[in-house]
Amino acid sequence: MERSFKREVEALRLGAGDTFHGEGILAVTKALLQAGVSYVGGYQGAPVSHLLDVMVEAEDLLGDLGVHVETCTNEASAAAMLGASINYPLRGAVTWKSIVGTNVAADALSNLASPGVVGGALIILGEDYGEGASVIQERSYAYAMKSSMWLIDPRPELPTIVSMVEKGFELSEASHAPVMLELRIRACHVTGEFAAKDNRRAAFSSLNRIAGPPRFEYARLAHPPVTFVQERLKVEDRLPAARRFIREHGLNQVLGGLYDDVGIIVMGGLTNSVLRALMRLDLADVYGASLVPMLVLNVVYPLVPEEIRAFCADKRAVLVVEEGSPDYIEQQINVELRRADIRTRVFGKGPLPATGEYTSEVLIGGIATFLTEMRPPGLDVTAVAGMALAAVDHKPAAAQAVGELPARPPTFCTGCPERPVFSAIKLMQRELGPTHISADIGCHAFATFAPFSMGNSILGYGMSLASAAAVGPNLDRRPIAVMGDGGFWHNGLITGVTSNLFNKGDGVLIVMQNGYTSATGLQYMPSSKSGRQGAAPGMDVEQTLRSLGVKWLRKVRTYSVGTMVKTLKEAMRTAERGLKVIIADGECQLARQRRVRAEDAEKLKRGARVVRTRFGVDDEICTGDHSCIRLSGCPSLTVKPNPDPLRTDPVATVIESCVGCGLCGEVAHAAVLCPSFYRAELVRNPHIGDRFMHWLRRRVIGWLGGRAEAVS
C-alpha cells in the first residue's frame, strides 16, 4: 500500500475529552477501538477499503491494545475468522464490499449464524445501488433474512454511526447473532465530528490470552442434528431478543413533524437524502428538522413490530423509502399492519422507482407524488408539486445549452501495464480471428470498454478461467481467460487453475501480474514485492503454477507488445494440450508513479540526476489515420488540428500527462504503423556526459541542417 494514512492513524488515538473530526469510515474504525474489539480482518473493496487500510497502518496502536489484524485473501476467510466469537467472549469485526463479498462469504456466514456467537461479531459491508455501485444490483438484506443475522443501516451522521457500531456489538451479544452494518458510499465519506471516548482494551486479546479451549460442546457446531435446534433458537430466542434490545436501546429514531397524519419510514442510510429532498420541498430545514414525521430505521432487519405499529397507528398513509429490490421492508410493514388490523395505506415502490439509486431528484419526485396523493390537511400540495417540478425542469434547458458531450467510458490509467496486453490480443486476433474472452473483476475489466471492447462474460472475482471451462470444449478456437494476480490469490488459483488441471482442460490463461490489488486501492497481496511488515510475503505466481503442474508457462513483460503477440499466437496454435499460462508482468503504473515521484523529489533535493521519459508524435510524419489511438487507447494519446494547411485530418499528439511507458511506440512498431513516434528524455541536474552529448547532438544536427541547406 503506497498511500500513507498517518493523519487518520493519529485520529484513532483520540480519547475522552477530544473531538474527532473526519469521515464516516474512519469514525467506524475509531468506534471499533472504543468498543473493545479483539480482532479485525477483511477483504478490501470500495467503499470500505479505507477501514482495513487504516487498521493495517495503525498496527502499533492496535498492538498496544492487543487487537489482532488479519488481511484476508478473500471474504470467505474473513467471514470464517468470526468463528472466534462462537466459543469465546471476543469481539471481532470484519469488512468487505457487498454484495459480491457477501456472496463469497456466504458459506462461512451461514455456519456462523447457525450456532450463533457469545462474543460480538460485526460485519461491516460497503453497499450501494445504481451508479454508486460497481457491482451487481442485489441486496445484503436477503442474506440477513435467510441466515438470521441483523442488519444495521445507520443514519449517515458520525454520532449515529459510532453509536451503531458500539451498539452493534451489544446487540450481537444480547441476541447471540452476528450483526451486519451496511454503509453506502455517502455514509463512508460523510464528514462530521463526535465526542471521542478512550480506546478500550478487550478483556481477552493477544495481551491477555484465554486459558485453553472451552469444554467440548457439540451445540457450538453447525452440524446436524444440532442445526435443527439452532433453527428454533434463531426464531424463538434470538429474534425476540434482538427486537427487545433494539426497542429498549432506542436504536431506531422517530423524528416528529407537523403533518402527522402521514409519515415516512426510511432506511437509516437514506435519511440525509430524504431530509435534503424535504428541504427542497420546503418541508425540512437545513439542520434536519422535518415537517413530515419520520421513522428512521437504523436497524433495517429485524423490524420491530411494536415500533411499526406505534408509528403508523394514527396515520392515514406512510411512504416507505427503501432502496433496491425486492421491497422486503415494505412487504413486512404491510404484513404487520394487516396483522394488527391497522388501516394505514403503505406507499413505496410506485411513487418511488423499484430499481436504481435513490438520488435527491428521485426522492423529491417520489415524496411529492405521495404528498399530492394523500393531501395532508394544512399542506399546500400544489406548491409542493410546483417545487418538485422546479427542481428538475431546468435540466432539459441546461442539457441543450451544454450540447452533446462526448462519451467518456472508464479506462485504464495512463501508462497502465495491462493496456498493452489488450493491444497485443487485438493484434493477435487480426491474424488468427476473434476468440472467446472470459473477463474477470479488476482493472483489466476496463478492456470491456472502447477501444478494446473485449470480454464475453464476467462471472466473479478470480472466476474467468472457471467460466471458460465449458466454452473451450464447445468452440473451434481456444478461449482466453484474463485474470489479475489479485483475482488469482482471491479465488482463481483453486476455482480456475486447479480445476482446469484436475480436468485436463485446455485453453489460455493470462495472469496480469501488477503486484498489488490495484482496483481496490493498491493493497498488498501474497506475491507483492513488499508487504505489511516491509518484507515481501514471499509467495510467487509462477512458482505456484509450476508446483501445481502447469507445463506451458511464459512470463512476458507487458509493454513488449511484439513479444506478447508472438506468445499469444504460440499459445493459441500449439498442438500441446493442457493449460497455457502467460504471466503478463508489469508493475501497476499508479503505484509506480507514486513511488517514482517521491524518489525523484528526493533526488532533486540532493541535486542528483533525474530522467523523465516522454513520447511524442512528429506532426509531419503522422498520416492522421489514428490506428495508434485505436490500438492503445491511452488517454494521453489524442488528436490536434493538423498544422499543415494542406492536410485536413487531425494528427495524433501526446499530451502532458504521458508517463513514458512506451506503449504507443511499441504498438506502432508491432502493428507496423507509421514511424511518427519519437522518444525524448528530459534530464534534470544533467551530469557532464549529458552536457557533452547535448553539445554533440546540437553540433551534428546543426551541421546536417547547414549541409542540407548547402545541398538545396
Residues that bind ligand SF4 (CB under 6 A): 412-416, 418, 443, 514, 518-519, 588-590, 615, 632, 634, 636-637, 654, 658-664
For 25-68, the three-class secondary structure string (H helix, E strand, C coil) is HHHHHHHHHHCCCCEEEECCCCCCHHHHHHHHHCHHHHHHHCCE
- How many CA atoms lie within 13 Å of 526's alpha carbon, on the beta-carbon side? 18
Our CB check for ligand SF4 shows the closer of 269 and 660 to be 660
Nearer of residues 102 and 589 to ligand SF4, judged by Cβ = 589
CB of 417 to ligand SF4, least distance (A): 6
Q: What is the SS3 assignment for 369-420? A: HHHHHHCCCCCCHHHHHHHHHHHHCCHHHHHHHHCCCCCCCCCCCCCCCCHH
Q: How far apart, in whole angstroms, are the C-alpha atoms of residue 283 and residue 285?
A: 7
Name the residue nearer to ligand SF4 (CB basis): 358 or 615. Answer: 615
> Is 579 or 664 the residue whose CB approaches ligand SF4 more closely?
664
Query: Of the two residues 270 and 659, which places its CB atom closer to ligand SF4 in the complex?
Result: 659
Nearer to ligand SF4, 72 or 654 (CB): 654
CB-based contacts of 435: which residues, under 8 Å, 6+ apart?
429, 475, 477, 478, 479, 480, 572
**Pair type for strands 262-267 and 437-439:** unpaired
CA dist 88 and 84 (Å) reads 6
Q: How far is the CB of 46 from ligand SF4 (least distance, A)?
A: 13
Residue 338: CB atoms within 10 Å: 11
Residue with Cβ nearer ligand SF4 (146 or 679): 679
Judged by beta carbon, residue 298 or residue 517, the one nearer ligand SF4 is 517
CB-wise, 147 or 414, nearer to ligand SF4? 414
Minimum Å gap between C-beta 545 and ligand SF4 is 21
- Shortest distance, CB of residue 29 to ligand SF4, whole angstroms? 24
Write out the three cell numbers for 583.
504471466
Nearest-angstrom CA–CA distance, 304 and 313: 14
Measured between alpha carbons, how far is residue 245 from residues 80, 163, 170, 178, 221 in Å? 26, 14, 9, 14, 26
Give whichever of 373 and 600 is closer to ligand SF4, judged by the CB atom.
600
Strand duo 92-97 + 262-267: pairing = unpaired
State in angstroms the smallest separation of the CB of 654 from ligand SF4. 4
Treating both helix axes as pointing N-terminal to C-terminal, what angle do 360-374 and 381-392 enclose, rounded to 10 degrees? 160
Residues 6+ apart with CB under 8 A from 538: none
Minimum gap (Å) between residue 418 Cβ and ligand SF4: 5
Nearer to ligand SF4, 82 or 664 (CB): 664
Q: Which is nearer to ligand SF4, 584 or 610 (CB)?
A: 584
| Distance between CA atoms of residues 361 and 688, nearest Å | 64
Roughly what angle, to the nearest 10 degrees, separates helices 663-670 and 561-573? 50
Residue 194 or 422 with smaller CB distance to ligand SF4: 422
Q: How far apart are CA 252 and CA 636, in angstroms?
A: 51
Closest approach of ligand SF4 to the CB of residue 631, in Å = 10
Comparison of 399 and 680: residue with beta carbon closer to ligand SF4: 680
The nearest distance, CB 659 to ligand SF4, in angstroms, is 5
Q: Which is nearer to ligand SF4, 305 or 635 (CB)?
A: 635
Please measure the distance between the N-terminal and C-terminal CA atoms of the chain and give it in whole angstroms: 60
What CA–CA distance (Å, rounded) separates 283 from 272? Answer: 13
Closest by Cα among 154, 133, 172 to 27:
154
What span, in angstroms and rounded, lies between the C-alpha atoms of 295 and 310? 10
> Residue 353 in contact with residue 129, Cβ under 8 Å?
no
CB of residue 413 vs ligand SF4: minimum separation in angstroms?
Answer: 3
The nearer residue to ligand SF4, 151 or 634, going by C-beta atoms, is: 634
Residue 257: CB minimum distance to ligand SF4, A: 47
| b/e map 101-111, b = 16+ CB within 10 Å | bbbbbbebbbb
Cell of 165: 457500531
Q: Is the CB of residue 167 less than 8 Å from the CB of residue 249?
A: yes
Could you tell me which of 450, 470, 467 has the C-alpha nearest to residue 458?
A: 467
Q: Rounded to 5 degrees, what are φ and ψ at 364?
A: -60, -45
Taking the complex as a whole, the smallest distance from the CB of residue 99 to ligand SF4 amounts, in Å, to 23
Residue 518 CB, nearest approach to ligand SF4 (Å) = 4
Number of H helices, E strands in the chain: 28, 24
Identity of the residue, 259 or 559, whose beta carbon is nearer to ligand SF4 in the bound complex? 559
Minimum separation from the CB atom of position 589 to ligand SF4 (A): 4
Please name every residue paired with 555 in a beta bridge, in sequence order, or none if there are none: 583
Grid cell for residue 708: 542540407
Min dist. Cβ of residue 446 to ligand SF4 (A): 6
- Minimal distance in Å, beta carbon 649 to ligand SF4? 19
User: Rounded to the nearest whole angstrom, what is the least distance from the CB of residue 588 to ligand SF4 in the complex?
Assistant: 3
Query: 159 preceded by cis ω (within 30°)?
Result: no
Shortest spacing between CB 415 and ligand SF4, in angstroms: 4
CA atoms 620, 621, 622, 625: torsion sign: positive
- What's the min distance (Å) between Cβ of 662 and ligand SF4? 5
Query: For residue 323, which of 153, 106, 452, 439 has the smallest C-alpha distance?
Result: 153
Contacts of 292 (CB under 8 A, 6+ apart): 257, 258, 259, 262, 263, 264, 278, 283, 284, 367, 371, 376
Residues pairing with 94 in the sheet: 41, 123
Query: Which residue, 23 or 418, has its beta carbon nearer to ligand SF4?
Result: 418
User: Cα(344)–Cα(308) distance, rounded to whole angstroms?
Assistant: 11
What is the length of the chain? 712
Task: Report the 10 Å Cβ neighbour count for 199.
Answer: 21
